[in-house]
Amino acid sequence: MVYLAADHAGVTLKDALIVYLQQQQIPCSDLGTNTTDAVDYPDYAHRLCNTIAGTENRGVLICGTGIGMSIVANRLTDIRCAVALNPEMAYFARRHNNANVLALGARLIDAECAQHILDTFLSTEFEGGRHEARLAKIDYIGMVATLPAP
């Protein structure tokens, strides 16, 4: 399942991506917002991340830049969120970082570009190997205030 959420700046792109996913018969779920009335992006990032944390599901968060959504998402355990402005960023976010949440900036990319990024995000597998230990360090950093110097 792919969960999508957006603030007022991202709602139009979110709705377009939901139509795109439905056309491809990819299961998806809309976690709001559903109007262009101003809302606070942390509320929607939090809602989506709480929904997918600890599952195999993926998330897509959309705000004006993708930055605010990603800052919130990456505070939450089991969430690895990456902003992508092109398919290459989405590719490496999956291959190297095992990102489970994609953040998009509706004021920075058009719907066609967003579709290509989303295709890449959903179709690319994590590489594993040497990246496993690095992800384990990210989890460890999430549990402690400081790390010994490398």
41 binds ligand RB5 (CB under 6 A): yes
Minimal distance, residue 11 CB to ligand RB5, in Å: 10
Among residues 58, 68, 8, 61, the alpha carbon closest in space to that of 33 is found at: 8
12 vs 29, which CB is nearer to ligand RB5?
Answer: 12
**Residue choice 33, 68, 79, 84 for contact with ligand RB5 (CB under 6 A):** 68
- Which position's Cβ is nearest ligand RB5? 68
Rounded Cα distance between 11 and 82, Å, is 19
64 binds ligand RB5 (CB under 6 A): yes
26 binds ligand RB5 (CB under 6 A): no
Residues carrying an active site annotation: 96
44 binds ligand RB5 (CB under 6 A): no
**Residue choice 2, 5, 7, 58 for contact with ligand RB5 (CB under 6 A):** 7
9 vs 90, which CB is nearer to ligand RB5?
Answer: 9
53 binds ligand RB5 (CB under 6 A): no
**Residue choice 4, 63, 81, 103 for contact with ligand RB5 (CB under 6 A):** 63
